Structure 1
Amino acid sequence: MTEAMRLVVAGGGTAGHISPMLAIADAVKVEQADAQITALGSPGGLETKLVPEAGYQLELIPKAPMPRSLNLDLLKFPFRFITALNQAKRVLKQSGAEAVLGVGGYVCTPAYLAAKQLKLPIFVHEANSVAGMANKLGAKSAAFVGTTFANTGLPGEVQVGMPMRSNVAQMNRTELRGEAREYFGVSGDKPVLLVTGGSSGAQSINTAISESLAELHAAGVHTVHITGRGKQILDAEGQLLAHEGYTQVEYVDRMDYAYAVADLMVCRSGAGTVCELAVAGTAAVLVPLPIGNGEQKLNARDLVAAGGAVLVSDDEFTKSYITENVIKLLEDQHKLEQMSQAAASLGQRDAAQIMARRIIEEVSTRRGAGQEG
C-alpha cells in the first residue's frame, strides 16, 4: 500500500493568499484523499479562522517582516527571522513534509528557506501581476512556478490562472441566482448591486455607497453591501444602518452566491476577485486599492480590456460617480449582459488542479528515485 503524501502549504494574512492555498490543498485531496496536508501561517492572520474551517491542521510561526527603515526593529530582525526559520523547519520535520507549496505572505520566506535547507521541492503560486518578495525568493529554487497572470518576471513561470475553491470554480451563475437572491433577502426582480471591499473591507467604498443609498433605492436597485469585518455602517444612533432595498453584512462565506446575485459588482481588483469575476461572468466596476505597488490596477487590465469591467480610481469613486455611472449601468441590462459574456470569456477554472498534479508528480518521481537508489 502506497504511503500517504505529506505536504506543507504556506501562506497567510489575507483571503487573497489563503483562498488559492486552500484551493490547491483541496485539489490535492481530490487526487489523493489520504494526503496529509499541514498549513503554515502566522498569528493574527485570517488563516487562523479559514484554515481550521477548511479542515486542515494549522501550525503558526511568528511574523518576521523586514523593516523598511533604520530603527530598533531592524536590529531585532535577524533574531526574529532565525526564530521563524527554525520553527518552520521544525514543522517540516515533524510533519514529514515531502514538498512545500507557498502562495506568498510573510510566512513564506522562512518556509521556502527551510524547505531549501531540508532539500524539499518547492512549489510557488503567484496570484498578482507583480510578484511579492517572498515568492521572488521561493521561485529561484522552485520545482514549479505557477502564476495567475503572464509576465510577472518570476523565473520559469507558467501561467495557470487563479486556484479557486470548487464552489466558485464550478459555479453556474444562472442556476444559482434564485438561491442567491433568497440568501441575501432580495425580493422581486430588482437589479442587484453587490458591493464588497474584500475580507477586510474598504472604507472609501463603504462611505460612497452609504451616501448613495437613497439614489440607488429611487432607481429601483437592491444593494447588497459586504462591508468587511469591523467596518459595519452605523446610523446616527450607533445602530446598524438600515434602508429600504439595502442588505448589509460584514462577511460572506458563500462568495459564489455573491457573484450569482449581482447584476453588477463594485469591488477592489485583487487577483482572486478579478479571476472569480471572470469565472462567474459577473460584470463589475473595479476600484483598485490606492496603496501598494499598483498591482491591483495591473490585475484589472485584461478584464477591463475585454469589456467585462470598468475601472475607476479610488478617489473618483464617489456619490456622484455612483449616480452618474453605476446607476446608469444597472439600468442597461443589455450592456450588463455584454459585460457578463466578455468577463466569462476569460474564465480559467482548473488552476488548482494543475498545481496539485505538478506537486503529486514531483513527489511520486522523488519517491521512485529514492526506491531505485
Structure 2
Amino acid sequence: MNKLKIVMTGGGSAGHVTPNLALVPKLKGLGYEIEYIGTKNGIERSIIEKEKIKYNIIASGKLRRYIDIKNFSDPFKVVLGIFQAINILRKKKPNIVFSKGGFVSVPVVMAAHFCRIPVIAHESDITPGLANRISVPYCTKVCVTFPESLKNIKNNKGMLTGTPIRDELFQGSRIKGLEICGFNGDKPVLMIIGGSLGSKVINDAVREELNELLKRYNVVHICGKGNLDKDLLKVKGYKQFEYISTELPHVMNAADLVISRAGANVIFELLALKKPNLLIPLSKKSSRGDQILNAQSFEKNGYSMVIQEEEITSGVIFNKITELEKHQEKYKEAMNSSPAQNGVENIINIIDKYKRIY
C-alpha cells in the first residue's frame, strides 16, 4: 500500500489554521504524509510554513455578505482556485482532505469532491460559517464542537467531536510565561486576547482603564498585528504582543484571568486550561452573530462571564474583572465539571475511518 497522504486546508484567520496543527502529531504517528493548500498571502501560510509542512498555493476570493466591488471579481478567483486545487490533488493523490473552513477552503473542498476524494470538515462555532455552509454538500462528514450544531448539518453528516486542542498548550510553564512578559509574580496576571486579528473595541477599552487595572494586575495584551500602542511600550506591568505562537502556552499558563473574544477555538482552550474568563463577543454589526451564540452557551454552562460590546462604558472592564476574580472558584468548578473534551482523538478516528485507499 502507498504511503498515506492528507491534504489540509483552512485560512483567513488563525482560528481556521491552528486547530489543524493539533492534529498533525497524531496524523504523523499514523503514518500520514501531510501537505497544505492555502492562499499566497493568507495568515495560514506563515503559520504552516513555520511547521515545515509543504504548502501549496491557490487563488481564492473572499466570500462576503455585504456589498463590495470585489464581489464581482472574486467568484472568478474561486473558479480559478477550484481548477488549481484539482491539479494539485490529482498530482498528490491524497487519501483524504481535512478542511477547517475559511474562504480558501471552498475551492479545495469542491475540487476534492470532483476528484472523488473524501472530505472531512470541522466547524468550531454553533452555526456554520458561510464557507462551511457552501462546503457541506461536498463533504463526507462534518465534525462539530457544540451539541447545538448538529441540527444545522443536514443529511446526517454532522458528528459531535469537540474541537482539537494542541498538546503543547498543556505544556506551558507559568514561570516561563512570567519571564516572557517581564512580570515578577507580585500581582495576578490578566491576559487580553482579541483574536488573531485583534479587536479595536477591546484594545481601546482596556487601554482606557489601564492605569486602574495596573493597580491590581499585571496585564499581558495580545492586541493584533499593527495594534501596538508605542506610547505604552515601557509601562511597567503592561506587556504587549501583536501575535504570539510558540510562547502562547507559557503566557496562557501564567494568566490568572482572561478577557477574550468568543471564537470557539479560544474559548475551548480557556475551558481546557480552566481559566476564569470574561468574554466580549464580536457584535452583530460586524459579524454573523456566531460569537454571541458561543458566549451564550458558555455563560449558560457557568464557564464564562459575558458582556456585549454595547455594554462597554468607562469603568466596566475593571468592575467586571474584579467581580470575575472574586468568583473565580465558582467558574473553575463549573469548568472542572464540563463534559467537553479535546477533540483530537475523535477527529483523527473519523479521518482514518473515511480515508480513501488506492
Determine if the TM-score, normalized by the shorter chain, exceeds 0.5. yes
Structure-1 separation of matches of 2:314 and 2:282 = 18
Return the alpha-carbon distance in structure 1 between the equivalents of residues 133 and 293 of structure 2.
Answer: 18
Q: Which amino acid aligns with 2:18?
A: S
- Is 43-52 or 276-285 further displaced after alignment? 43-52
- Asked whether the 8 Å contact 2:63–2:103 carries over to 1, the reply is no
Structure 2 letter corresponding to 1:345? S
Partner in structure 1 of residue 288 of structure 2? 293
> Does 1:309 pair with 2:293?
no
Residue of structure 2 aligned with 1:357, choices 324, 349, 352: 349
| Counterpart in the other structure of 1:248 | 240
User: Which residue, 307, 319, 333 being the options, matches 1:341?
Assistant: 333
Match of 1:121 in 2: 118
* 2:175 is equivalent to residue 178 of structure 1: yes
Change over 3 Å in CA distance of 1:68–1:199 after alignment to 2: closer
Q: What does 1:5-154 correspond to in 2, within 5 Å?
A: 5-32=4-31, 35-66=32-63, 73-152=70-149, 153-154=152-153
Quick one: structure 1 residues 309 and 151, their matched pair in 2 at CA, closer, same or farther if it must change by over 3 Å?
closer
Contact 2:260 2:279 in 1 (8 A): yes
Match of 2:251 in 1: 258
Counterpart amino acid of residue 234 in structure 2? A
Compared with structure 1, are the counterparts of its residues 72 and 200 closer, same or farther at alpha carbon in structure 2 (3 Å cutoff)?
closer
Separation in structure 2 between the aligned mates of residue 68 and residue 79 of structure 1, nearest angstrom: 17
The answer on whether the counterparts of 1:227 and 1:233 sit within 8 Å (CA) in structure 2 is no
Distance in 1 between the 2:314 and 2:69 partners?
Answer: 44
| Compared CA separation, residues 233 and 337, structure 1 to 2 (3 A) | same
Structure 2 counterpart SS, 1:360: helix
Paired with 1:50 and 1:188, the residues of 2 have a C-alpha distance of 31
Question: Are the equivalent residues in 2 in contact too, given 1:280–1:344 (CA < 8 A)?
Answer: no
The residue type equivalent to 1:22 in the other structure is L
1:327 aligns with 2:322: yes
Does 2:157 align with 1:162? no
CA separation in 2, counterparts of 1:94 and 1:203? 43
Q: Per the alignment, do residues 324 and 151 of structure 1 end up closer, same or farther by CA in structure 2, a change over 3 Å counting? A: closer
Counterpart contact for 2:174–2:254, Cα < 8 Å: yes
Confirm whether residue 222 of structure 1 aligns to residue 215 of structure 2: no
Residue 70 of structure 1, CA deviation = 7.3
1:257 shift after superposition: 2.0
Change over 3 Å in CA distance of 1:138–1:329 after alignment to 2: closer
8 Å contact 1:192–1:221 — kept in the other structure? yes
SS of residue matched to 1:120: coil
User: Match of 1:248, SS?
Assistant: strand
Q: Please give the per-residue CA displacement for 1:232-271, whole angstroms capped at 9, x wherever unaligned.
A: 0132xxxx53322212222221322232111110010001
Gaps of 5+ in 2: none
Give the superposition deviation at 1:349.
Answer: 4.1
- 1:146 Cα deviation from its structure 2 partner: 0.6
Contact 1:67-1:73 at 8 Å conserved across structures: no
Structure 1: tracts of 5 or more residues without a match: none
> Could you say if the C-alpha distance between residues 249 and 72 of structure 1 is closer, same or farther in structure 2, counting changes exceeding 3 Å?
closer
What is the Cα deviation at residue 188 of structure 1? 3.3
Count of residues in Structure 1 that have an aligned counterpart in Structure 2: 351
Alpha-carbon distance in 1 for matches of 2:37, 2:175: 38
Supply the distance in 2 between the matched residues of 1:88 and 1:104 (Cα, whole angstroms). 15
Does the aligned pair in 1 maintain the 2:168–2:249 contact within 8 Å? yes
- CA distance in 2 between counterparts of 1:21 and 1:215 reads 39
Secondary structure in structure 1 of the residue aligned to 2:148: coil
Structure 1 distance, partners of 2:193, 2:147, is 26
Change (3 A) 1:244 1:353: same
Distance 2:22 2:185 in 1: 35
Give the letter aligned to residue 7 of structure 1: I
Give, in whole Å, the separation in 1 of the partners of 2:308 and 2:348: 36
Question: Which stretch has the larger CA shift, 59-68 or 277-286?
Answer: 59-68
Considering only CA atoms, is the larger Rg found in Structure 1 or Structure 2? Answer: 1
TM-score in terms of structure 1 length: 0.87
The alignment's TM-score, normalised by the length of structure 2, stands at 0.91
Cα separation, partners in 2 of 1:74 and 1:217, compared to 1, 3 Å: closer
Which amino acid is 2:270 matched to?
L
Cα 1:338–1:181 shift into 2, 3 Å: farther
